[in-house]
Amino acid sequence: MRSTKQARPRRKTAARPAEGTGQEGMLDLTGAAQLLKVSKPTFYRWLAQGKIKGFKVGSQWRFRRDDLQKFLESAEPSELQVDQAGLAAAVDKERRARGLEPIDWSKVEAGEESAVVSLIHAMFQDAIRGRASDIHIDGNPDEALVRYRVDGVLHEAMSLPYEVKLPLISRLKLMGDMDISTRVFPQFGRVEVQREGKTYDFRITTVPAIYGESAILRVLDQSSVLIGPDRLGFLPETRQAFERSLQEPQGLIVVSGPAGSGRTTTLYSALNVLNAPARKIVTIEEPVEYRLRNVMQVHVNRKAGLTMAVALRTFVRCDPDIILAGDLRDLETAKVCVQAAMTGHLVLTAMLPQDAPSVITRLTEMGVEPFLVSAALKTVLAQRLVRCLCPKCKAPYQPPESLLDRLQTQAGARLSGTTFYRGEGCPECRGYGFRGRTALFELLQMSDRLKELTLRGASTAELRLAAIESGMVTMLQDGLRKAAEGITSIEEVMRVLFASAGSPEQRG
């Protein structure tokens, strides 16, 4: 039997300030933001994080002046505040000294944090226009040092007063949806920027250091990987061999090289060749750096138990044609990749060995059975990035004979009488002599001889000799050909391939 008793409606009551607080001690949201000298978005963020206390009267927020004053006296608001006039003067001086475009401070809105925001956007613009891959913000005892990594080499951009670093990094944290109150633990964030019709991702990492936090921003151009192998710097015969390997119905293809050698760009370029409606492509990456249409891309999430190996096992049950594993570093992942490559899938992955034959050795050292490596591995592409000579100022010159003799012995090629080039430095390349980068490649394709050597556990030296006898062009030979063509310099090839070549020349 249904009860006829109805629930009594609750009486709505408006929130009221605590007793003893008069209206003269209250501020609305606009007034509160002005008191703290921050923008409304910053104020809303602090309010949502519970760092600022307030109450609602109807639909309007109200804040006690005493509470705001206490918050103002804490360290947190000062993380965003800076002397705008002092910052503008310091930035103008640095930018004039380095020939950078000045900031139009007349367009900066009122509020002490606005100068920091303008500086950050100017840094974004500098990085994009200068083709920088990273922005580094570090602290010394007496300065905040801003540097850009261009073509693989760090260049100092600005030396600012030390007091600027805390507001600068705090603002970056807010933009990257990070916690500005945490400064003793690394944090990660992301900012998306639209410039000149392109989308750029700035991946932010903050790290606690002895002179306060440092910030590293990686610049990712989403369109930079939408290219094919023909634009990566392959020699014609190497490109044709690599593209043929991508048409294999199954097997393991490894792109090898140290961090920062362009492996991700090469892998994504391969996916662009393979990407078609008739193919199911899946990737597992840590993290997903670039987004591709019609490709199922998955982030590694270790906290949730989604490791690379777990994802790969799941992929095999999802009827894929092509699998990309972002980085192969452990035995479990290696075994799953090998098994997938032997059961009808084309598997692409990256590894860290310095040259192509070392990949075979590394897989067996990790614990993968030699017979599995021999059966699954099809192609290894090792690579490095070298700077390209500036086309405006490159000029022919003759390297020292001692250097040529050494290279002739190592490369097994005649270099005498060959014309080489170097960059003289010009305004187009800002005096460095280099502009842009290309890759040096070493393509190993598994032959019967290499499979036999793999099965009996041959050394890397034996594998390298057999690969060269099978027609492999080494990275040194690739680099010397590009130096002879005026693409790069012979010293740049030496710098990248041999540690004894020393640090890069700052002029070129």
Evaluate whether 469 touches 425 at the Cβ level (below 8 Å).
Answer: no
Tell whether 308 is covered by a domain: yes
Same domain (yes/no): 175, 276? no
In a domain, 325, yes or no: yes
pTM exceeds 0.85, yes or no = no
* DSSP secondary structure letters along 153-220: EEEEEEEE-GGGHHHHHHHHHHHTT--TT--SS-EEEEEEEEETTEEEEEEEEEE--TTS-EEEEEEE
How far apart CA 89 and CA 508 sit, in angstroms, is 32
pLDDT at 54 (0 to 100) = 86
Which residues span the domain enclosing 190?
A: 84-221
**Of 199, 270, 196, 193, which Cα lies nearest the Cα of 230?**
270
For the purposes of burial, counting CB atoms within 10 Å of the CB of 39, is it exposed (0-12), middle (13-18) or buried (19 or more)?
A: middle
Answer yes or no: is 169 within a domain: yes
> Is the same domain home to 147 and 95?
yes
Instruction: Verify that 66 and 108 share a domain, yes or no.
Output: no
Residue 212: both structure tokens together: 């306060």
Domain co-membership, 342 together with 419: yes
Q: Are residues 192 and 317 in the same domain?
A: no
* Residue finishing a domain among 50, 74, 98: 74
Q: What is the pLDDT of residue 110?
A: 46
Tokens of 396: 């022919």
Domain identity same for 275 and 320: yes
Q: pLDDT tens-digit profile of 221-278? A: 877 766 778 888 999 999 999 999 999 999 999 999 998 899 999 999 999 999 998 9
- Number of domains the chain is built from: 3
In the chain, the amino acid numbered 226 is: L
Task: Indicate if 298 and 352 belong to the same structural domain.
Answer: yes
Contacts of 89 (CB under 8 A, 6+ apart): none
Write the CATH number for 316.
Answer: 3.40.50.300
pLDDT at 352: 93
Q: 40 and 148 share a domain?
A: no
Sign of the dihedral defined by the CA atoms of residues 256, 260, 266, 271, in that order: positive
**Which amino acid makes up residue 157?**
A
What CATH number is associated with residue 113? 3.30.450.90
Measured distance CA(243)–CA(485) in Å, rounded: 23
- Residue 363: name the closest of 245, 444, 466 by CA: 444
Phi, psi of 372, rounded to the nearest 5 degrees: -75, -40
CATH number of the domain residue 65 falls in: 1.10.10
- pLDDT value at residue 116: 83
Classify residue 395: in a domain, yes or no: yes
What phi and psi, each to the nearest 5 degrees, are found at residue 310? Answer: -60, -45
Per residue, the 3-state secondary structure of 410-473, as one string, reads: HHCCCCCCCCEEEECCCHHHCCCCEEEEEEEEEEEECCHHHHHHHHCCCCHHHHHHHHHHCCCC
d(CA 106, CA 109) in angstroms, rounded, equals 8
pLDDT along the chain (508 residues), means of 10: 49 41 71 76 76 83 85 58 74 80 66 72 89 92 91 89 87 86 86 86 93 92 75 91 94 94 91 92 89 90 90 91 92 94 94 95 95 96 95 90 80 78 87 90 96 95 94 93 92 81 37
Based on its alpha-carbon atoms, the radius of gyration of the chain, rounded to whole angstroms, reads: 29
Angle at 170 between CA 165 and CA 174, to 5 degrees: 150
Q: Are residues 319 and 373 in the same domain?
A: yes
CA distance 294 to 296: 7
Closest CA to 123 of 151, 152, 94, 97: 94
Q: What is the CB neighbour count within 10 angstroms for residue 388?
A: 22
